[in-house]
C-alpha cells in the first residue's frame, strides 16, 4: 500500500514540473530556436502584425494545466505570459485568448 502511494505522489510531483522546468532557461531575448529546442512545437500559433505568439500548455495535476505564451518580434522573445487554468477537457480547451494590448507596445 505504501509503495502505491509513493509512486502516485512521485508521478504527481514530476508532472508539476511541466513547462516551468522545461522553460527555465528561457527569458526575454531568447530566440525562436531556443524556445523550440526547450519546448517543441507550440499548441497554438497566431500573430498580430509582425508580432508572433506561440502558446504552450501542459498538465500539472488532474484537471489543472500550466500555460506559457511566448511573444516574438523578429527572432527574439519580447514577452512571456504564464498562467494556470483548470480544464477537465485537456489543456488545449483551457487555453486563454491572447491579449495583444500589452505586448504590442513592447514591439515598437
| Grouped pLDDT means (10 residues each) for the chain, 108 residues | 50 56 91 96 95 94 89 96 87 89 79
At a CB cut-off of 8 Å and minimum separation 6, what does 80 contact? 26, 27, 28, 68, 69, 70, 71
Q: In what order do the strands lie in the sheet with 44-48?
A: 44-48, 51-61, 64-73, 76-86
Which set of grid coordinates corresponds to residue 76?
Answer: 527574439
- Determine the Cα angle at 58 with ends 54 and 61, to 5°: 155
Distance in angstroms (rounded) separating the CA atoms of residues 79 and 4: 42
Q: pTM of the entire structure?
A: 0.80
Distance in angstroms (rounded) separating the CA atoms of residues 107 and 83: 22
The residue segments making up the domain with residue 57 are 2-106
The phi, psi pair for 99, rounded to 5°, reads -100, 100
CATH of the domain at 57: 3.30.1450.10
- The domain tally of the chain equals 1
pLDDT at 108: 67
Amino acid at each position: 500500500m505504501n509503495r502505491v502511494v509513493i509512486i502516485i505522489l512521485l508521478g504527481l510531483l514530476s508532472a508539476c514540473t511541466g513547462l516551468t522546468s522545461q522553460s527555465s532557461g528561457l527569458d526575454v531575448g531568447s530566440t525562436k530556436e531556443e524556445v523550440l529546442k526547450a519546448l517543441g512545437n507550440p499548441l497554438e500559433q497566431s500573430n498580430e502584425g509582425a508580432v508572433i505568439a506561440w502558446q504552450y500548455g501542459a498538465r500539472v495535476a488532474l484537471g489543472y494545466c500550466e500555460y506559457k505564451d511566448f511573444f516574438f518580434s523578429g527572432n527574439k522573445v519580447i514577452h512571456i505570459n504564464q498562467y494556470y487554468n483548470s480544464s477537465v477537457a485537456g489543456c488545449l480547451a483551457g487555453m486563454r485568448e491572447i491579449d495583444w494590448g500589452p505586448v504590442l507596445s513592447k514591439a515598437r
